Amino acid sequence: MDKKVYIGLGSNMGNKSENIAKAIDFVACIEGVNIKKVSSLYLTAPWGRTDQDDFINQVIEIETDLSALNLLYCLQDIEIKLGRHRDGKWGPRIIDLDILIYGEETSLLEELQVPHPYLLERLFVLIPLAEINSEMELPDGSKIREVLSRERALTEGNDIIKL
């Protein structure tokens, strides 16, 4: 188990917290994956496309010896098992599993971009990440606590609630 990887989970359809719990159970069953840390659940206002229901988001830290692409395929299988249909970019979803950070690796493939391209702009990812690893250095060398306070200052309102 060599790579330290962060996965973001999100749901804004059906029983959102149950969808996320089921997804984590499936992740725990992937051969070659160990779940190390699990953040709290957060109720978050929709980002990007605001004409949809609130999300529940969570972040987990895993260790894995799977390649980034093989891990992505396993996560996509889980999305399908949980009944996810694609409803437009940033549209509503039963479950979404994004690879946020895959060790030190950078990938710019359309199929897999790591670090996740919107990582630094999304409080619904930064807040749970900082909860499970407050000393974390992000892939661009910045400190999560500094990025978080900068992003909080830019974001009006209190649209992220820890459950």
Which amino acids are annotated catalytic?
84, 93, 96, 98
Which residues bind to ligand A4P, rule: CB under 6 A?
10, 44-48, 55, 57, 72, 86, 89-90, 96, 98-99, 111-114, 116, 118, 124
Closer CB to Mg ion, 112 or 143, in the complex = 112
Site string for Mg ion, 35-74 (x = CB under 5 A): ----------------------------------------
CB count within 10 Å of CB 41 equals 19
According to DSSP, the β-strands at 55-64 and 33-38 are antiparallel
Among 92, 98, 120, 126, binds Mg ion (CB under 5 A): 98
**Inter-axis angle of helices 144-154 and 123-132, to 10 degrees?**
150
Closer CB to ligand A4P, 55 or 120, in the complex = 55
Closer CB to ligand A4P, 95 or 144, in the complex = 95
Structure tokens at 116: 């996740």
Question: Cβ(136)–Cβ(120) under 8 Å?
Answer: no
Q: Which residue is nearest to ligand A4P (CB)?
A: 10
Least spacing, CB of residue 111 vs Mg ion, in Å: 12
DSSP letters, 93-139, are -S-EEEEEEETT--EE-SS-EES-TTGGG-HHHHHHHHHH-TTPBPT
Question: Cβ(96)–Cβ(9) under 8 Å?
Answer: yes
Among 23, 96, 102, 127, binds Mg ion (CB under 5 A): 96
> Which stretches of the chain bind Mg ion, using CB under 5 A?
96, 98
